[in-house]
A and B are shown apart, each in its own frame.
Chain A
Amino acid sequence: MSQAKLAANPAAIATWQAFRDQFAKANLQERAAMLKNRADLSRRGIITTIESAGQGHIGGDLSVIDVMTTLFYGVLNINPANPTDNNRDRFILSKGHCSAALYVTLASAGFFSESELPTFMQPYSALNGHPNRNKVPGVETNTGPLGHGLPVAVGTAIAARLQGRADRTFVIMGDGEMQEGSNWEALMSASHFGLSNLTAIVDRNRLQQGARTEDTNGLDPLDEKLESFGLEVRMIDGHDFEALLKALEPSTTGKPVAIIANTLKGKGISFIEDRVEWHHKVPSTDQVRLALEELS
């Protein structure tokens, strides 16, 4: 390996922990407001990180950041100071092209220092265009080729059960990514093995790289498909934090849970929202200014 794994950032961990403590005492409405605030901070981080790299997948980063923020700030049982403690919940970002969203989130929670973010995709950076578990703490598996995260998640969920551990596995796929056959093989396994400790989340922004999903290789009715594969399906607005918190609760049926998070690609920035060309377009200096204004 070219460089050592990044080190944890105790100050950021303390801030993250304080958030989690306050969150634990808050009611559902207050929790949603806290998460919204935190997610918009991450949106700013995503935009400036992509601006400085001159590369990135901004549309999918902005559609998934509300789900990811809810997980890291409201749900996951994790310890950024000890990210490989076996008693942790697993989080896998299967749509690895949205690495900027993951890096910004991990850095905010102190898995490594936020001062690393400007190195995104710079020479010899640990923050590669796609996440690498050997360089970045908090990354469970190396993703980038679509259709890999869910099978790995099935494995971590089976391991938890074999080892008698109560922790859960969460995995996020893109909706275009659901066209990969490997996902459907994994869904069959998840259901066959009764992995009630697994939650598979589809970032249903209805866009893929070149066009809308339904104009490429249609997924609808996705809920019925997932149900018929034996999952407990929860269809929600993926930008509604109260709905997210409820949907991320454990299975009630003994089946694995599938969340269809209906989202907007580019959510939060008017001129990026729901436009296919923003899959990996990079904002100009002016557009960055406008975007940050929209978030303030």
Chain B
Amino acid sequence: MSAPTPNSYNIAGEDLPVFDNRVAFAEKLIELARKDSRIVAVVNDSVGSSNLGAFREEFPDRLINVGIAEQNMVGVGAGLANAGMIPFVCAAGPFLSGRATEQVKADVAYSQLPVILCAMSPGMAYGELGPTHHSVEDLSWMRALPGLDIIVPADEQQIRDAVEAAVANPRPMYIRVGRHKVPNTTPAGAKFERGKFVTVREGSDVSIIATGSMVSRALSAAATLAEQGVSARVLNATFIAPLDQQAIIDASTGTRAIVTVEEANVSGGLGAAVASLVATSPEAGRVPMAIIGTNDWSPTLSTDGLYEHFGLTAANIVAKAKEVLSRA
């Protein structure tokens, strides 16, 4: 039996309950679908894994299951959007972003059709099912497509905000909907603004820019660093695209080093985006950086085991923060 997933996560000595964001996602989608008949869901035999059973019960005609056919699924989404619907295209992250990449490119991003691509159970949520079922390349792949918003909600509040924003202002969007449970970290009243990071902790020595499942780990690391006399700012990179350039420039001038953390491959995701700006912006400080993410095919491990394996842990964030500061 694989190790059970812990039902809490500790930040600064406090055990916080953790949540599967697919639940808040589906609740919000149903709530909005009651008021807005343009909303439809498109799936690939993934009603259960996308947590859309209740949506199907209530709106049987508005749940379009194309079967195991992801390229068709994204194309159908584009056609629905063309006719004024708001399609939430929901599939396990690897098959949505990987199998249908060209449909996402040509039919959604290049055509600028407002399809809401919902990457369910992204990152390494499928643990022992292995690299074919992990979606760690998506941030690199999707970031190469101009005009596609990439949103990585960190908790329940942010997934609700993302779904609301998609309906209020439909545009091509790629939203990660996490399955591996995380605690709520978004401060009460924090605004959800397109292209903006959320500052979840102020600090002046080092900036930790984390996204999605890694935000709670960054906060835990910041608490440990504070005990050691290091003041860490924690930014929640809710949007990978458009990127919050000002927040990154401020981090590079207001703190002496930057660490990025993402449940994604380091080749082209959040860290690469931040490093590119830090290296090229005339306004940015050329601060030392560390990029934490995955860098190889995963071995057979649970999600938590993989976090340990790739250093996606509070302890490694602490170590990397100290290391970059030593180079500052």
Where the two chains meet, the residues of A that have a C-beta atom closer than 8 Å to any C-beta of B are: 1-3, 52-55, 96, 121-130, 132, 142-147, 176-177, 179-181, 208-211, 213, 216-217
Contact = CB atoms under 8 A, between A and B. Distances in A.
Contacts of A147: 68, 99
B170 interface: no
Contacts of A208: 45, 67-68
A146 B133 CA distance: 11
A119 to B, nearest CB: 8
10 contacts: A1-B297, A2-B299, A54-B1, A55-B128, A96-B132, A123-B301, A125-B300, A142-B132, A144-B129, A210-B45
Contacts of B71: 181
Contacts of A124: 299-301
B66 interface: yes
B69 interface: yes
A144 B301 CA distance: 16
Closest 8 CB pairs of A and B: A217-B67, A144-B132, A179-B67, A129-B129, A54-B1, A2-B299, A121-B128, A128-B130
Determine which residue in A54, A126, A209 has the highest number of CB atoms from chain B within 10 A of its CB, and name it: A209
Contacts of A121: 2, 128, 300
A180 B1 CA distance: 32
Contacts of A143: 132
Interface of B: 1-2, 45-49, 65-69, 71-72, 94-95, 98-99, 126, 128-130, 132-133, 297, 299-302, 305
A209 B48 contact: yes
A218 to B, nearest CB: 9
B69 A217 contact: yes
B300 A145 contact: no
A3 B49 CA distance: 31
Contact of B65 (A127, A128, A180, A217): A217
B129 to A, nearest CB: 4
A152 B48 CA distance: 30
Contacts of A181: 69, 71-72
B128 A128 contact: yes
A2 B300 CA distance: 9
Contacts of B67: 176, 179, 208, 213, 216-217
Given A121-B300, A216-B65, A217-B65, A145 B45 contact: no
A185 B65 CA distance: 22
Contacts of B69: 179-181, 217
A158 to B, nearest CB: 24
Contacts of A96: 132
B76 to A, nearest CB: 11
A3 B298 CA distance: 12
A177 B130 contact: no
A129 B65 contact: no
Nearest to B56: A210
A210 B132 contact: no
A57 to B, nearest CB: 10
A213 B67 CA distance: 8
Contact of A216 (B45, B72, B128, B301): B45
A75 to B, nearest CB: 27
A204 to B, nearest CB: 15
Given A55-B128, A130-B130, 6 more contacts: A121-B300, A125-B300, A147-B99, A179-B68, A208-B67, A217-B67
Contact of B130 (A3, A129, A210, A216): A129
A171 B69 CA distance: 19
Nearest to A179: B67
Contacts of A52: 1
Given A123-B305, A146-B68, A209 B46 contact: yes
A122 B2 CA distance: 7
Contacts of B301: 123-124
Nearest to A282: B1
A132 B300 CA distance: 11
Contacts of A179: 45, 66-69
Interface centre among B95, B98, B130, B305 (most CB of A within 10 A): B130
Contacts of A177: 68
Nearest to B47: A210
B57 to A, nearest CB: 14
A181 B67 CA distance: 11
B8 to A, nearest CB: 21
A2 B301 CA distance: 12
A234 to B, nearest CB: 24
Nearest to B305: A123
A77 B134 CA distance: 35
Nearest to A57: B129
Nearest to B72: A181
A178 to B, nearest CB: 8
A130 B129 contact: yes
B295 to A, nearest CB: 13
Nearest to B50: A210
Given A54-B2, A121-B2, A146-B68, A129 B46 contact: no
B42 to A, nearest CB: 12
B95 A145 contact: yes
Nearest to A96: B132
Contacts of A129: 126, 128-130, 133, 300
B78 to A, nearest CB: 16
B305 to A, nearest CB: 6
Contacts of B68: 146-147, 176-177, 179-180, 208-209, 217
B300 A128 contact: yes
